[in-house]
Amino acid sequence: MLNLFQHLLKSITYETLKQVRGDRNRLFQQPVFYYISPIIVFSVVIAFAALIWPIFPKWGNAPEKHIFPLYAYAADEPRFTKEGELTFLSKTGRKKIIHIDIEIAGNDYERGKGLMYRHSLSDNAGMLFIFERSGPLSFWMRNTYISLDIIFADENRQIVTIQKNTKPLSYVQIPSKRNSKYVVEVNAGFCDKYGIVIGDFITF
């Protein structure tokens, strides 16, 4: 009986060792890709995270108002749509200086999108931003490929601040400095070309 038990124990031990050796051999017979695939997947995830990270604004530096929604970052370039006309008037005598076609940004989505993704803008065209109430405003040039002159006007439609030659694709805040209700964006150099200055008026 004892001999039978010993023989059975030896058989079980021998079969177990064979299985362990077989598993080990099979493990080391796997192709190289089997071992490096987890590293590749991990690297791809890290690279993807680094790629999409700039999509999100720098929340710590962004102003409390006008944090633009992510849906504003569409990839396709929008076409200019004429929705009205705007005239710049001189501060002395309110004489006509220049007349342009305008696209109007009158709600949160349109104001958030602005002139993003445009690669060109006609010299006689611009975008008019209309806000519900007068107050301090701040813009930036995220996803905006063309340099602009940004013109801030108060509730009386008088120009109070002009920010010239803005830097494309910049996160730097562009403040109104004074309370404003209307903002006009035109090509960089527009104000110098036509003599638009603080104190002039807009009408539309």
**Per-residue pLDDT at 67:** 40
Q: Is 71 contained in some domain?
A: no
Co-location of 104 and 184 in the same domain: yes
Co-location of 9 and 96 in the same domain: no
Q: Rounded to an integer, what distance in angstroms lies between the CA atom of residue 65 and that of residue 69?
A: 11
Q: Is 17 contained in some domain?
A: yes
53 pLDDT band (50/70/90 cuts)? low
Co-location of 86 and 43 in the same domain: no
Q: The domain spanning residue 96 has which CATH number?
A: 2.60.120.1140
Co-location of 88 and 117 in the same domain: yes
Co-location of 46 and 96 in the same domain: no
- Residue 97, pLDDT above cutoff 70: yes
Q: Is 13 left (phi over 0), alpha (psi -120 to 50) or beta?
A: alpha
Q: Rounded to an integer, what distance in angstroms lies between the CA atom of residue 57 and that of residue 68?
A: 9
The percent of residues above 70 in pLDDT, for the chain, comes to 64
Q: Is 64 contained in some domain?
A: no
Q: Is 61 contained in some domain?
A: no
Co-location of 31 and 82 in the same domain: no
Residues with Cβ within 8 Å of residue 138, at least 6 apart in sequence: 63, 65, 66, 173, 174, 175, 176
* pLDDT-wise least confident of 74-78, 142-146, 148-152, 182-186: 74-78
Residue 182's domain spans which residues?
A: 76-203
**Per-residue pLDDT at 72:** 43
Co-location of 90 and 168 in the same domain: yes
Q: What is the pTM of this model?
A: 0.63
Q: Is 8 contained in some domain?
A: yes
**Per-residue pLDDT at 40:** 72
**Per-residue pLDDT at 30:** 56
Helix, strand, coil share of the chain (percent; to 5): 30, 25, 40
Co-location of 97 and 28 in the same domain: no
Q: Give the H/E segment covering residue 102.
A: strand 96-105
96 close to 89: Cβ distance less than 8 angstroms? yes
Co-location of 116 and 147 in the same domain: yes
Q: Rounded to an integer, what distance in angstroms lies between the CA atom of residue 192 and that of residue 189?
A: 5
Q: Is 172 contained in some domain?
A: yes
Co-location of 109 and 15 in the same domain: no
Q: How many distinct structural domains can be found in the chain?
A: 2
Residues with Cβ within 8 Å of residue 202, at least 6 apart in sequence: 86, 87, 88, 89, 151, 153, 157, 159, 182, 184
* pLDDT-wise least confident of 74-78, 144-148, 154-158, 200-204: 74-78
Q: Is 120 contained in some domain?
A: yes
- Residue 125, pLDDT above cutoff 80: yes
Q: Is 70 contained in some domain?
A: no
Co-location of 88 and 124 in the same domain: yes
Co-location of 47 and 94 in the same domain: no
